[in-house]
Structure 1
């Protein structure tokens, strides 16, 4: 891992999170360097240090993901490439990113009308991440601030190592 990657903290903060209305996600780059946020559904956006991107997602959304891309370069039409988390060479993602990328996953208004979220390393690790709800009385967030896959002893490493943290909203 390069020293640059160690400085990243990519934050996801949910604001209006109800079972019958859309959810609002504020995606903030707390890194000192630029990242290119990506979301399916949602698209993508370049975020300089301290910038926030807000996306609204419909109630009932399943299997959704948000992640950070690093080392990106795009032309004026939104075509290019990212070193991590690339989604088919597009700034405005239409499909999930290519590993490695740290994932925030969520599903809205699912089993028993509950919303669920987690941070996963199923596609590897590229940036530390924080996912913190701010509505409906839920104040417990989750974080993945270290490359736990990279810290595994060699005899325990495997391709596709997986860290899964789930929290009910």
Structure 2
């Protein structure tokens, strides 16, 4: 009877398992965090303010596909100079570039999660994605398996001139080369919409050289996509600074 009850409890626990996220602000200044779910599930209303040292937790549904980012230089109503989404809680909108993005596609093929730290939309602050120890299967290995994905350099320092975004006399974000120039060969579009016709370019190489774990442009998949398989569901920490 005890074995039977244990089986029931275990089954319920597995079936009810979900992905936990922890968002932490390690910056010395406030960050207005934001989240957007492509499948209609938006955590914590979509946006919230985080003072230095703050930590927030939330849960997402299975097969969640979305992004988390930080907004900076904001008013108390959530109007921001970087990563702005039109208000404190974003109201179902994603952020305006430039912004560093933590991107997730959960419970995909083979029940694996896919995640990356993306600079395709530019950079506004350092971020790290960290799978939480003890929540994932350790029988798999590889450079991009359940590893930290981060950008640990402040790319606002040394950002190429045409890519700089200014506010209050300082560089507060670094635009992607695509956004800064509108060139098709930097945006990987039209005649340049394949990996063969859109190889890496100077603006992308600036990002990649300083943040080698992050997506630097649209076709940077092979050196920037991480996977993780949960036990039963991987939890993730997303850290600002």
Normalization by structure 1: what TM-score?
0.75
Which structure shows the bigger proportion of residues in helix conformation? 2
Q: How far apart, in 2, do the equivalents of 1:54 and 1:133 lie?
A: 14
Q: Is the 8 A contact 1:37 1:45 kept in 2?
A: yes
1:95 corresponds in structure 2 to 93
Deviation of 1:158 (Å): 2.9
Any unmatched runs of 5+ in structure 1?
1-17
Q: Counterpart of 1:83 in 2: which secondary structure?
A: strand
Equivalent-residue separation in structure 2 for 1:26 and 1:56 (angstroms)? 9
Partner residue, 1:158: 177
- 2-side partners of 1:28 and 1:19: how far apart? 28
Structure 2 unmatched runs, 5+:
1-13, 37-41, 139-145, 162-175, 180-203, 205-214, 229-241
Larger Rg: 2
Equivalent of residue 121 in structure 2, options 103, 120, 123: 123
Q: Quote the offset at 1:21 in angstroms.
A: 3.1
CA–CA distance in structure 1, aligned partners of residues 15 and 98 of structure 2: 32
Question: For residues 5-154 of structure 1, what are the structure 2 equivalents within 5 Å?
Answer: 21-40=17-36, 41-42=42-43, 43-62=46-65, 64-75=66-77, 80-87=78-85, 89-93=86-90, 94-134=92-132, 135-137=135-137, 140-146=147-153
Deviation at 1:148, TM superposition (A): 5.6
Looking at secondary structure, tell me which structure has more strand per residue: 1
What CA RMSD, in Å, does the superposition of the two structures yield over aligned residues? Answer: 2.6
**Displaced runs of 4+ in structure 1, greater than 6 A?**
none
CA contact (8 A) 2:124 2:156 kept: no
CA 1:152 to 1:85, structure 2 compared with 1: closer, same or farther past 3 Å? closer
Size of the aligned set, in residue pairs, is 144
**SS of alignment partner, residue 70 of structure 1:** strand
